[in-house]
Amino acid sequence: MHDIGDLEGRKIPGVGIASTEFVEAAALQSKALGMNPDMVFVPHPIQDRTDDELRALADQAFANILEALTRQDT
């Protein structure tokens, strides 16, 4: 969260990426930090996955990450 906040503070687009286990924690930390970053959540767990499994997770999340990075705030 701190990294996304730093990027946003420098006007650099960023997206937080975490596993679904951390949806609530990400919301609580975002609120505590006074920010509302774009987040993309991937299936939990991430640890102990093979390289191929991690690539598949990244491929599945790519469109959502790209959409969040290119979204125009209104």
pLDDT of residue 73: 65
Statement: residue 42 has pLDDT above 60: yes
pLDDT of residue 26: 96
Statement: residue 10 has pLDDT above 70: yes
What span, in angstroms and rounded, lies between the C-alpha atoms of 67 and 13? Answer: 11
Statement: residue 74 has pLDDT above 90: no
* DSSP three-state, residue 39: strand
Nearest Cα neighbor of 42 from 68, 71, 13, 65 is: 65
For the chain, the domain total comes to 1
Domain that holds residue 46: 2-70
pLDDT of residue 71: 86
Statement: residue 60 has pLDDT above 70: yes
